[in-house]
Every structure is written in structure tokens, then in C-alpha cells.
Structure 1
Amino acid sequence: MGKTRDLFKKIRDTKGTFHAKMGSIKDRNGMDLTEAEDIKKRWQEYTEELYKKDLHDPDNHDDVITNLEPDILECEVKWALESITMNKASGGDGIPVELFQILKDDAVKVLHSICQQIWKTQQWPQDWKRSVFIPIPKKGNAKECSNYHTIALISHASKVMLKILQARLQQYVNRELPDVQAGFRKGRGTRDQIANIRWIMEKAREFQKNIYFCFIDYAKAFDCVDHNKLWKILKEMGIPDHLTCLLRNLYAGQEATVRTGHGTTDWFQIGKGVHQGCILSPCLFNLYAEYIMRNAGLEETQAGIKIAGRNINNLRYADDTTLMAESEEELKSLLMK
């Protein structure tokens, strides 16, 4: 891996940095846009609309929380800093993660002071709330903005605080998520769920039983998370108010820009969806989705497959959900919930 990275570095040094140029894209009416400024404006319009907040959903902000969780330790900052992956593009602040590695103990002291200040006040630096979106085309029509997925670049300094916050949240996440959810969980993955489905199918053949599956993939599920509903869910699940307040204030006033082959757009507000590029987003989405599944009443229903005296009617990997039942009628009843 190291030799491959060195090879590409030599190629870049020889040829210079390559900037991919996007071709024309379509506006909302299906007309081709070819001018750089028009393309940038279209990307901003599309992305801003995608993350636009529902105007009928007012923010619910509490005062600063005074009943705080235990202070952040310097050793936590050092651990978080050492766990950040090297050779990653910088966020909007332009600070490379390698700088912190060079500064070593000085960086730990400075970041510990900043993180502890955020911990006490629950207020985040605006640079840490900013994301740079880079559109990556999927297969198909590359002229449609909706046919791209985006990667997000965030401040490397912010990742230190986010990793610490994730570690503090983990015990609550583990407590609330059922074992049918394998998405973004330590020691679990898509292979587990594929193996589970194959085992179920093999047993069904062995005992000559019918099994009905429905595979569900929600469109832009991570982008549709309602922030105020998320905070209510965290409260109901027993997440400490201090941690919820930190998350809520991280999301308040989020901004993003889209980096295209023709330059970057203006900054715009993000009003919904989990924070792209943030390591906390998968576990927050899992909690959000778990609440929805609980309210659907899948645990109470008798529909599903009986395994070792237990009724199983769904397997999940984040937003990818597989419903299963022993009859077509039972599967339909699950889909109607």
C-alpha cells in the first residue's frame, strides 16, 4: 500500500495535479447547462433543495446543559488524534491532518483545550460545522444531479472531538440496537446478513418450507433524517442530555459548499439529513431507523420465520432492510406496517 502511494505521488509530481472536469448537466427543466457559472449554480440549487429544512418544523433549542458528563481527558484527545487516517483531503479549513502529527504533544494540548471548551459550552467553531461536497457520478446519465453521490470533506480537527463523542455514545448505541441490525457495528458486516439469509434458505429447503423475502432500499435515507425528530428519539432512548445538546448544536447552523470541476459554489445551509463525512452519522442513523422499526410494531407481530423458538421477520444493514415471512400474506402484512 505504501509503495502504491509513493508511485502515485511521483506520477502527480511529474504530471501535476489533475482536476476532473464535469461535462454539461441538466437544469431542473431538463435543459443542458454548459457554462461554468450555470453548472455551479445548478449544483448549489440541487444540493440546497435536497437538504432544505421543513419550514413547518420549528427548532426546539434548550438552554446550555449544566449537568455535564465527565470531562474530556488529554489521553482521549491523543487516542482520537492517533486514530485519524493519514493522507486524506483537508476540509474547508485547509488544515492537513499531517500537521497535527508533526506538532505531536503541542497539538494534543491545543486540541484538548478546544474540545474541553466545546464540552462545557456546547458551542462548536463554525469551521467545524462546514462540509465540502464533491459529487461522484454513478452509473447512468451523468447529466442528472440526482445520479451522483457525494463525498464530504470536513475539518480534521473536528474529527478529534467527533471521535471522543462517538466513544462516549457507543455504550448507549450498543444497548439500543438489536442484533438484526448489522450496519456500521464493530465485528459485523454485510457478509453476516448474507450468510444469515443463505442459512435460512438452506433450512427452508431442508424442511421443505416456503420463504418469502422483500428487499427494501430507501431512497436517500441518510439525507432525509429530520433533526428535531432525531433529538426527541435520542431523549426517549435515554441518551444523556449533555451529549444530545452537543449533537444538536453541531447540527444547528451547518453549512456546505459543492466543489465542482468548475470551482466551488457559495456556502449554503443544511437543514436535514445526518452530517455527511461525520463518523457519528452511521450510529445516529441506526438509532433513528431503529425507532421507526419499533413504532412499526415488527417485534410484536407473529409474522416471520421461527428460529430456535424466536420469531425473526427482518434483517438490516443500516437502511437496507430485508423482510421475511413464511407466507405471501404474512409478508404483505409486514409491508403494510
Structure 2
Amino acid sequence: MTLEDEPLRSEGVQHATGEERRASTSRSRADEAAGPKPKGRSVADMPGSERKVQCCKEKYCIGTWNVRTMNLGKLEVVKNEMARINIDILGISELKWTGMGEFSSDDHHIYYCGQETRKRNGVALIVNKRVAKAVLGCNLKNDRMISIRIQGRPFNITVIQVYAPTTGAKETEIDQFYEDLQHLIEVTPKKDVLLIIGDWNAKVGNQEIKGTTGKFGLGDQNEAGQRLIEFCQENKLVITNTLFQQHKRRLYTWTSPDGQHRNQIDYILCSQRWRSSIQSAKTRPGADCGSDHQLLIAKFKLKLKKVGKTTGPVRYNLSQIPYEYTVEVTNRFKDLDLVDRVPEELWMEARNIVQEAATKTIPMKRKCKKAKWLSNEALQIAEERRQAKCEGDSERYRKLNADFQRTARRDKKAFLNEQCKQIEENNRMGRTRDLFKKIGDMKGTFRTKITIIKDKSGKDLTEAEDIKKRWQEYTEELYQKEMDASYTPGSMVADLEPDILESEVKWALESTANNKASGSDGIPAELFKI
């Protein structure tokens, strides 16, 4: 990764003449006679730009894909393709989900944004677990654009996924799209590495425009393409998938239903300042999810900051607390010295007793993964469909696509029937908690966490540290009280509260509900009810 705007390397290879080869051979023999040289060069001998490249050895892959509706089973297919091609960040266009938020699915984290009620447009960003640890925050702008900010070194990375209006859209809708995108860029820190990916529904053509496009585009430029180029020039952006010479099948990103027309309308944009960090940009025709768009990827060299693992609270299996735990805690509590003890020290000792006894006698609660309803048969059909696409067998591809949709619907129905059987079993056995939890999972609306709040001025806060500070300010203002004018610091308080009675402690423990989250000490209330 370099800060300078370096020119791209030439695609060709220069061949030396006969005299140059003979001179080179004689020089190499002289060097061998002088003795072996150490391999490589010292960092001090390298130019500044090369030293910066040496520091960034981590390669990442970013992609964008118009999936034409993320319907039944398609998310699993897309995740499998990400794992197969080793994609770290994938932008999705035409998601057609309602609502907005984020959630985890296996080893991936999904940020998405759609319309409130209509299944139209929609964008998403899917990151693997390697990148998810470094995500600072997300900005769920609207159903046409979404962004995430990733912690990197030496600068952070902002990725924006867009889905532009089609050429047949109203002019006001197109203007609004570019206004919203411009605002999103303006709120992005200037030092960030900026990547804008997505379906632009525009053709920029194969004419080279210095600093904006290369000479390896596809087709002729249209009006939407001219608008995109002007936008790139205003914001100093370069369209990366026009910079590298590729076969045409690696350039076009959309194919018409009859297979007669192919266009390049999906692009990956990068700041001109960071153009040299892009190693390659091309489509992957072999990837398939049942869409008429091709997967577009780019490989770049940047360094993400490694974030250490966060240890969550210990989760005990509290369904049946063993008798050994009760005996050990009771005996150790009897040996506690309660005379002339500082309350904080006494609490620390009691807490350690409970934690040690629980770790020793109570088994840990196993984390149950969410059941996958899509069968291996459906995934196998999806793989066969991908192979048919690679072979160019359109007839077999259409048949397998219909088979996949039919199998996915069957699997979904079988999964729901199995869930209903479990609900009936919980009802028969009197497991009320499990019964209503299962009903809520099936019937209730899918709620995702939205990690965006506003500051006092109404500005959206997307980064975790800023959100944390804002919550701190809010709680301080909420609980701030005016001090009593009659109170002076250092004066004695006449009315002291009486000592806490043992009966009050027992009443407080008995009235505490079970199956609630533990506090900062990580001890659930059930462990004190012995």
C-alpha cells in the first residue's frame, strides 16, 4: 500500500537484445567471482514507496454481486461461494429484504438495509470472521447504499455498497441517489481508504480518462456512464475494473436473458490516492447464485488491525444445579470471618467462592447453533448448477435452477414441520419456557441489532467508541441531580439508614427472576438461591 499515486505497471514484457544479454551474462559471472551476495535488499536501501509496500503483505479480496433477490436458500449459496473464492468483503445489490440491521450467520456477519415494507432494492455487506473483528461501525443509509468502516493500519478503510437506479428511472431519483452518496462520502474521514462498490447501471466505455478510467473497459459510454465519470472526477475516484487487461468474459458483469447482450455495469471504485494497492479486478464467471449478474472481485493489499479476542461471560447450565455445589458453597461460607471486615473485601471473597464452586461442579452451557434448514441435496444441486453455467449448458442450467428452487421450498416446509413437532413436544412435557421461545422464534418478527445512534445535534454516530461516549453523556445527564443547597461538603449526616436485615436479603433473592443476564461479576442469580 503506497500513499503516492503511482502509475500502473506495464502489461507487456520488454525483451533484451543479443548484446544486452551478453553484457548481462558477463556482469553476472563477474559478480559470482566476487563472492555470493546476500539475498534481497536491506530496508534502508529501499526507496520510501517500496518500504511501505513491504509493510503491507496481507492480501484481501472484495467483491460485489447483484443477486436479484436473496430468496430461499440463496444466502447459504452466496456464503459458500465466498468461502470457495476466499472473499473477505462482499457487497450485495437487489437484496429485496425489508427493514435494516445486522446479524451473524455461521462464520459471516451481515449488514443490510432495505425499505420498511416493500421488498424492493436493498443492499447488504457480508464480511467473514477475519474482517468482522476489525469493523468499527456501519452506516445504514437507505435501501440503495450502506457503508462499514474497518480498522486498518496506517489508515482505516471505508467500504460503501451501492445500487444505482436504472437508466429508465426518473431524473429526480438519480439526482437523489448521487446526493445521498455525496453526503456519505463527505462524512467519511478524509484519511480513510475509500472503496465504493456495487451495481451502477452505467456503461463507462473503453475510452481511457486519465485518473478515472483505464483503457480496458467494455462497450460504449452511455449517459449514465458519463454521470458516473463526472462523479468520480469530482471525488478523485478511479474505476479499478477498467485498469487491468482481461479477456472479455472477465469484463462484462451482466448478461441479457437471451444471452445475446453483455454489458459492464458493475464497478469497484477506489480513491486515486490508493490506486496502487489494488492488485487486480475482474469478474468470476464460474461463481453462481441464480443471477444474471457476474460476481466482480478485486484483490487489494492493505493491513487490518488485529483485534484481540473478547472473553464473554461464563454460561453455566442452570437447569439442574448439583447438590455438590450447594454443599461446597455452604461449608465455605460458614468459614468466612465476618468480624471487622471491609464490605468490599468480604464481597470479593464471597464472589470468588461462588465462582470457584460453580466452575468446579456445574457444567458449562453448550452453545446451540441455529439449525440449517437447507439440505445437502439442495446445496449439491446448486453446485451442479454452477458447473452447468461454467460449461455453457443453458438448458441444463435452467432445469437445475428450477430443481434448486423446488428443493429449497420442500426443505423449508420440512423444517417448519419439524419445529411444530418440537413445539407440541414441549407443550406435552410442560416445558413452558422452551415452548414459548420456540413459538417466538417461528412467529415473531426477525429483530436485528442496529448499532447507530444520534448525537445531540442529530448526527449519526456509527463507530463503537463514539456510541459509547454518547451513552456515557446521556446517562450522566439523566442521573445528574442538583445538589441540595443546605448540604455542605464535609458536614455530618444525621439520619443514617438502618442496617440491612437478613430477611431483606432473603426476600430480595427470592423475588429475583431466573434466567436473567448476570451482572458485571458474571454470576447469575440462581447461584445464590441455595
TM-score (norm 2): 0.15
Considering fraction of residues, name the structure with more helix: 1
Higher relative contact order (CA 8 A, sep 6+): 1
TM-score (norm 1): 0.22
Which structure has the larger Rg over C-alpha atoms? 2
